[in-house]
Every structure is written in structure tokens, then in C-alpha cells.
Chain A
Amino acid sequence: MSGNVADSAVSPTTPAQTIPADLSGQMLELDEDDDLEVFSKDTTNTDGGSFNASMQTSPGSMINQYKFDEEEEEEDPGAKDLFITVDNPESHITTIETFITYRVVTKTTRSEFDSSEYEVRRRYQDFLWLRGRLEEAHPTLIVHPLPEKFVMKGMVERFNDDFIETRRRALHHFLNRIAEHPILSCNEDLKVFLSAQAWELASHKKQGPGFLSRMGETVRAVAASVRGVKNRPEEFNSIQEYVESFSQKMTSLDRITQRIVKEEREYLEEMKEYAPTYTLWSGSEEELAEPLKGVANCLDRCFQETEGQVRQLSDCLAPTLHEYVLSTDTLKAVLRRRDNMQAELEAKNEALAAKRADRDADPRERGVVWQSLLGKNPEEARQQRQQRLTGEIGELKEEIDKLEDRVEWANNALKGDWSRWQRSMRSDLKDAFVSTAQKNVDYYEKVRVTHLKPPQPHHTFDTRLVSITL
């Protein structure tokens, strides 16, 4: 992440309150954020007018292009016709390795599918393959991220139950986002992923664009990015800036959440030592035995509830935040690829202009001398060159036309995906925060209630307790 690291004051409301020496050493080091401009996202609807036959998409997706635009105007969740669930993780042990597979159940009414229900088992590697294919096929669409391969932070081992559950949830989320996407959901590889048996999938994986063609694309991409984009449309600038800031915020929130989990776990460790002292004490007392056991009991409940709360944070909130951190990487990549496309177009236009200038230039200024050295008739040479250039110009113009269509389509698709992404982001994060807040409310409620059943108080104290609970 970005470079600047500084200790931040924990409680900004009280200036006198700095982090006590003990804590500041381990204190969360959060990045200093630059001042952000307040700007608005301009989510214009795609005009959807441009098709492009050279798009590496299945014919199905072209037809769905219309649906894509309609969905922009009226969001109709009832139109969902592809339901996917990921569950039931199972461990597979072979002589070479151990891995987990997940059950993927698909229910659909789409005609492209031979059947209306499928149940297959897939492993993480298969998901990785699928996502790679989707990105290749649609480099300028936003494909939801997958959970990471390894988790560095925390004490998570690969086959730990919590880890598997978190991963399962993320995989489920991933497939559902794909299913909701009008273009991605029609992808052929997705169909194979959802419906094919294990051996079918394995053989299908072996097909597809070869290594060399992928290399070629990469080389073009690198060349384009070196060139850089000259006239990026303003809205993409805005998106770029937003993504930068958003990425920082998500990373911070992710780290804060992890930190809270850590602090709460340490709190639990100390509680483990604290609660039993009351029980121990009750062994030495007569009259006080009961109230002491009462306190011990409350503290135990508090301990259990806190465990639940920590789980909510680490199983629900943190993974969601992390998903969106990964998502910004995807966004940046998509923006880059779009830029590269545009850069390529710009480069070709420049080349075209150069060739035109070349053709229309004064023959004397051109390499006529060179030609004549080779023993050619200057007039003939000039005509030959003119012909050649005209041909090249024509070809170039064709390429440019195609590229322009592609760029326009890509821009529109991206804009559409962008507003879709924003909607999902808002809904996902809102849900995650709301459920976290709710869990906290529940937590305090449960702990509060345990204290309502205190040790049998003397009658003089009873009335006071009653008034507290009212």
C-alpha cells in the first residue's frame, strides 16, 4: 500500500489524550491520507448502441447486450434466472496432496443450459481458472475478486474450519456476482464450470487460447502502457481518483478491523484468568459464596458472548472489507486495460496521420534520392510509394474503425459495470456494517441480561435493582 506510515492519535476528541506509552508501540500504523477532493461520481447510462463483431464474446452475450441496457434503467431482481450456491466443503486426501472441494449447485431457467439443475464439486484452483478465463474474455469488465490464496495475517492455517468457511462464503459471493452480471453470466467457460463433470472440466481447461496468443496480448499491453494515454475522458479520471482513495480507506478499515479482533482476543485471554478468581474466592467464603459465584457466572457469559462477537468481526466484516480491497485491484487493472486500448487507438491514429502526411508530402523531400540510387525511375518510385502508402492507410483505417468501436464499447461497458459495482459495494458494505452493529447490540443485550440475575440480594438492595432494570 502507499508509503506514508505514521502513528495516529487514537482518540481525536480529547487532545490531551495521547496513546499511553505501552500501547503506542503496537499501535495501529495507519496511513496518512491525503486531502481528498469531494467529487461526484457521474454514472451515465450506457447508450448501448455499439456492437462489435470482433469482441471475443459468445453470440449469446451480444443478444444480452440489450438486456444489459434495460437492466440499467429498471433494476428488476425478479429477472434473475441463474441461482448458484456454494456449500458443503469436503476434504480430499490423495497421496500427493490434500485439498478441499466445494459443492456448487446451480438452478437455472436459461435455455443455454441443457438442464435446469446441476451439482458439481469444484476446488479453489477451478475458481481461479474460471476467473482468469473471464478476465481474458472481458478485459474491461469488472470481475469480482476471489478470496486470496494464502492468508498471512492471523493464525489461520489452510484447513482451519473458520478459514474454510470464510473462503466458502467468498466463493459463493463470487459466483453470485458473476451470475448477476448480464455479460459475464453468459460466458461459455462459466457454463462449463457450473455443469461439467470433473474430467470434462479438466479436458476443457486444456483448450482455449494458447500461451503464445496470451503472450502477444501481454506484449501489446506493456507497449501501450509505456506509451500512455493522452486524452483520457474526464469520467475515467474521476473513477481513477475515487478508486485510489477508496482503496486506501478499505485497506485502513480492513486493518482496523483486524486490530480490533486482535485486541478482543487478548481481552479474552485476560478474562480467562480473571473470571475464575471469583470462583476460587467463593471457596473461602460462606455468606459471600453466592454473590461471588454470581459474579463469576456473569463474567463467564460475557466471555462467551465476546467470543461470538469476535467471530462476527473476523468471519463477516473483515472478509467483506478485504474483498473490497481486492476489488480495487481489479478496478485499477480494468482501468489500465481500458487506457491501454485507448492508447493503442491513439497510437494508430498518430500512425495514420503520419502516413497521410508522408503520402501527401513533396516527393522531393522524400527518399527519391534513395530510390534513384537503386536505379529506379524517380516517377515510378514515387507512384509505387504512393500506392503502398494508400494501401497501408486503408488497412490502418479499417483497424482504427474496429478499434474505435471496441474502445467505445469498452468505455460504455465499463461505465455500466462501474455503476453496477458502486451499487453492489454500497449494498455489501452497508449490510456488513449493519449486521456488525446489530451483533454488537445483541452482544451487549445478552451480557446485560446476565447481570439481571444477580446473587440473591438483601431485601434492602432489591428495590434498587428493580429501579435499575426499569
Chain B
Amino acid sequence: MADAQREDAAETDTPNANDAQEKTSNSTMVEDSSTTLLKRMEITVAEAEKRTGKKAVNMQETYTVYLIETRPSSAVNEGQSVAPDALWRRYSEFELLRNYLLVTYPFIVVPPLPEKRAEFVWHKLSADNMDPDFVERRRVGLETFLLRVASHPVMSNDKIFYHFLMQERGWKEVVYDTGFQAKADSRLRALNATFRVKNPDKRFMEMKHYSDELQAITSQLLRARARVADRLYGVYKVHGNYGRVFSEWSAIEKEMGDGLQSAGHHMDAYAASIDDILEEEEHYADQIKEYLFFAEALRAVCRKHELSQYELETASLDLTSKKLQREELATGIVRTFSFKGMTTKLFGQETADQREARLKLLEEQIDEGEETVREKTAECEEHVHSGWEDMQRFKEQKDRDLREAFINYAYMQMSMCKKGIQMWSNAKECFSKM
């Protein structure tokens, strides 16, 4: 059943779908949980369109919308041609969805969106967001994002996600109604503050370290690859000049003319072949790029653990200090410095009533504090547990995906070599006839 699902999902009527990307995301569907959304439904980002609309203050803006199509997979499996449900979404809505997921599932490694602006461009690639190639690659990236969320054991059950796919109007309101924005803001503030954790989970710290390395190395790789692509482009294109000059030269030669002329054509073909080669390589670069951004998501999970742990430690410390105060008040022995103690010394002892009142307050606070610590401890434990689980899942997914990416890359290189062999063999034949 699962295999059939995979094949069917690959045979969608999306003329622009990148096979390699499809296979990558499909391979992540080897999930143990049988309740992921993707099992029940087929999702594609079929098209992209340009729209113009009014922004605030009567300003026009041009933006791109993407068509999300969904189909119940049972129908596809039975071979029925069912009209898909479809709706249009723009990139900012995807961003909103992702932010919601980040806040709602803080200990899940949330899949990244394709980049907002083109980075790691080499000069032939356009950095323009409106460029059709960029839009196309973004379309593929958005589809990958949706497929990844839909195949996640936890996130695929989210109602908001479901509504995102099915309900065009009013979705934004529903999202905001969840109040996630407030949580997001406070979380962001907390995360950005610097704090020291006394006892972080060692595994999380290792993961954080790994995510830093992954980020650094993938961005270095992408930058170097772009520069190599640039140079390779130059090498191939200069060969086009041979074509031109051979053609001119053949005009003044008698015996050599034919050989030169046809060799020239092969030189032109060789120079032109680099375009397809490098376009294919862009898909490989996109796969690496996804994991560059995944590294950020992974790091975020580790940071949230740190925050969680820090809050627990803070609450514990607070509780401890309150208990200490109670003890002092009860026994009259002052061990810690307190303002009250100071004023007592300066202005005289407080009354018994006052002491009573303060003791009562402290008891209440201690009760609250203990409750808080209990909650935080449970929270922390749960987060560590689910976070660790998801990081394992992520690791397996990453190993699978990247292994396949590298194999694809090798395949691309081989294909490029084959083309080269073909062209130069042809050219050699022509030269021999000179």
C-alpha cells in the first residue's frame, strides 16, 4: 500500500515537478505511523501565477501565488480521475503557517521553506524573485515543505495545517485566533536573551554543536559550488568561439572545409550543453540548501530546550530561596541577606502580626512555586523526550535524503561526462576528415 502510494504521488499531473525532489520527499514517507495525512491525501503545488493587488495606502504590488491541489489518495489508487480541490496561497501565507508550527510544536524540527531571496547565485542565475526559474524552483520547494509536514507523525494531524490545504478564505483569521502570535513574540524575546543553563541535556548540546557545523559546512559547500559552476560555464562557452572561427576558416579551405564546418557545429553544441547541465545541478544545490535551512530548525529546537531547562532551573532556584526565607522567618535565624532584615535592624523588629502575614504569603508562594516546578519539570521531560525522538527521526531522514542527493549528483556528473564523450568523439571524427 505504501509503495503504491509513493508511485502514485509521483505520477501527478504536475508537469513541472522535479523528479529528484519528489523521490526525496517520497522516500521520507517511510514512516512508521500510519496516520500521516499524506497517506490519505495527495498534495501538490501545481502552478504559480503572478497577481497584482492593492497593498495598503493604495499601492500596487505584484506577487506570485501558488496553486495547492489536493486529492484523496483512495480515489487516485482506484484509478478514478477526480477533480482535485484547489486553492491559491502566496509565500507569506506559507511563512505564517510555518511560524504557527514553530510555536505550536517547539520540539519538532520543522521543515524549512525555500529561501525568500536567491542566495548563492552565480552570475548566470538571476537573483530576481520574479524570475521564472526562481519561481519554478520555489514552487518545488513549497511542495516539498507541504509533503514533509503532511508526512510527519505529529504535525500532519494539525487542524490549522489541514485548513491551510483546504480552506482558502478565512484561514488567516483562524490562525491568529489560536493566539500563537503572542506566544511567538514572548518566545522570541526569551530566546534572543542570553542566559546560562547549568545542566543542559548533553545530547541536545551535541546536537546544537552539530547543527552549527552543518550550517557552516553546507553554506561553504554551496558557495564553492556556485563558483565552480560559474567557471565551468565560462570554459564551455568559450568553446563556442571555436565553432564560429572554424566556420569562417572552412570558407577559405578546400579539402579541410567540410571537416572544419561540421567540427564547428559540434563545438557550438558543446558550448550550449552546459546550460542544461547546470540547471540540473541547481536542483542538487536546492537539496543541499534545504538541509542548510534544516540545520537552523534543528538548532532552534536545541535552543528551545535550553530555554525550557533554564526556566525550570530559575523556578527551582526561586522555590529554594523562598523556602529558605520561610525557614528564617520561622526560626528567626537570618542566614541570607534581605532588605527586610536590614530595615529590621535599622527600624526595629516587626510585629508578630506582620510576621504572620509574611509567613502566610510565603507559604502561598511556595505552593505556587512547587506547582510551577512540577509543571516545568514535566514540561522539560516531555520536551526532551519528544524533541529527542524527533531529532532521531530527522537524522534518519537527513541521512536518507542526502545519500540519495549525492548519488543523484554522481549520476549527473556521469551524464555530463557521457555528453562530453559523445561530442568530442563526433568532433574528432570531423577533424579526422580534415
Residues of A near any B CB (own CB < 8 A): 8, 10-14, 19-23, 28, 30, 33, 36, 38-41, 242, 245-246, 249, 252-253, 256, 259-260, 263-264, 266-267, 269-271, 273-274, 277-278, 280-281, 284-285, 287-288, 291-292, 294-295, 298, 302, 426, 429-430, 433-434, 437-438, 440-441, 443-445, 447-448, 451-452, 454-455, 457-458, 461, 465, 468
The 8 Å CB contact of A292, one of B220, B231, B406, is: B406
Beyond A259-B238, A266-B231, A267-B228, is A458–B403 a contact (Cβ under 8 Å)?
Answer: yes
Nearest A residue to B416, CB-CB: A444
Known contacts A281-B221, A284-B210, A433-B431; is-contact A256 B252 (Cβ 8 Å): no
CB distance from B163 to the nearest CB of A (A): 36
Q: How far is the CB of B224 from chain A (nearest CB, A)?
A: 4
What 10 A-B pairs come out closest when comparing CB atoms? A437-B428, A448-B417, A267-B231, A444-B420, A274-B224, A440-B424, A22-B123, A433-B431, A287-B399, A277-B221
Nearest CB of B to A129, in Å: 34
Q: Are B217 and A12 in contact (CB under 8 A)?
A: no
Is B392 in contact with chain A by the CB < 8 A criterion? no
B-chain residues with CB within 8 Å of residue A246 when the two chains form the complex: 249, 252
Q: Do A278 and B403 touch (CB < 8 A)?
A: no
Known: A33-B248, A253-B242, A465-B407. A260 touches B227 (CB 8 A): no
Q: In the assembled complex, how far is the CB of residue B414 from the closest CB belonging to chain A, in whole angstroms?
A: 5
Would you call the interface of chain B mostly helix, strand, loop, or mixed? helix
Name B residues whose Cβ lies closer than 8 Å to a Cβ of A: 123-124, 210, 213-214, 217-218, 220-221, 224-225, 227-228, 230-232, 234-235, 237-245, 248-249, 251-252, 254-256, 259, 263, 268, 271-272, 398-399, 402-404, 406-407, 409-411, 413-414, 417-418, 420-421, 424-425, 427-428, 431-432, 434
Q: Is the Cβ of B411 less than 8 Å from the Cβ of A468?
A: yes
Bound-complex Cα distance A426 to B251 (A): 15
Q: Do A430 and B434 touch across chains, with their CB atoms under 8 A apart?
A: yes
Nearest chain B residue, comparing its CB with the CB of A268: B231
Whether B424 contacts A294 by the Cβ 8 Å rule is no
Instruction: Pick from A270, A277, A285, A452: contact of B231, CB below 8 A.
Output: A270
Bound: A277/B119 CA distance, A: 18
Closest to B268 in A: A13
Shortest B280–chain A CB gap in Å is 14
Q: Give the residue name and chain of the B residue nearest to A290 (CB).
A: B403
Residues of B within 8 A of A249 (CB): 245, 248-249, 252
Complex CA gap A306/B152 in Å reads 45
In the bound assembly, the distance between CA atoms of A461 and B427 in angstroms comes to 35
Q: Is the CB of B214 within 8 A of A284?
A: yes
Chain B residues with CB below 8 A from A433, complex form:
263, 431, 434
Pairs A–B under 8 Å by Cβ, sample size 16: A14-B272, A36-B252, A245-B252, A256-B238, A256-B241, A281-B221, A285-B399, A430-B432, A434-B431, A441-B425, A444-B424, A448-B414, A451-B414, A455-B407, A461-B407, A465-B411
Least distance between B431 CB and chain A CB atoms (Å): 4
Q: How far is the CA of A270 from the CA of B272 in the complex (A)?
A: 22
User: Which of B217, B238, B434 is close to A277, meaning CB atoms less than 8 Å apart?
Assistant: B217
CB atoms of B238 and A28 under 8 A apart: yes
Neighbouring A residues of B271 by C-beta, 8 Å: 10-11
A40 contact set on B, CB distance < 8 A: 254
Docked-complex contact A294 and B245, CB < 8 angstroms: no
Contact A429 B221 (CB under 8 A): no
With contacts A10-B240, A14-B272, A259-B238 taken as known, whether A426 is within 8 angstroms of B424 at the C-beta atoms is: no
Q: How far is the CA of A146 from the CA of B213 in the complex (A)?
A: 57
Q: Are B225 and A274 in contact (CB under 8 A)?
A: yes
* Cβ–Cβ < 8 Å partners of B413 in chain A: 298, 302, 447-448, 451
Residues of B contacting A440 with CB < 8 Å? 420, 424, 427
Contacts of A292 in B (CB 8 A): 406
Contact, CB under 8 Å: A437 / B228: no
Q: Chain B nearest CB: distance from A17 CB in Å?
A: 8
| Partner of B251 from A10, A36, A294 at Cβ < 8 Å | A36
Q: Which residues of A contact B234 (CB under 8 A)?
A: 23, 263, 266-267
On whether the beta carbons of A278 and B221 are closer than 8 Å, the reply is yes
CA distance A458 to B425 in the complex (A): 34
Given contacts A284-B213, A295-B409, A426-B434, contact A444 B421 (CB under 8 A): yes
Contact A38 B245 (CB under 8 A): no
Q: Inside 8 A of A13's CB, which chain B residues have their CB? A: 240, 268, 272
B248 pairs with A437, CB closer than 8 A: no
Q: Which of B213, B228, B245, B432 sits near A252, CB closer than 8 Å? A: B245
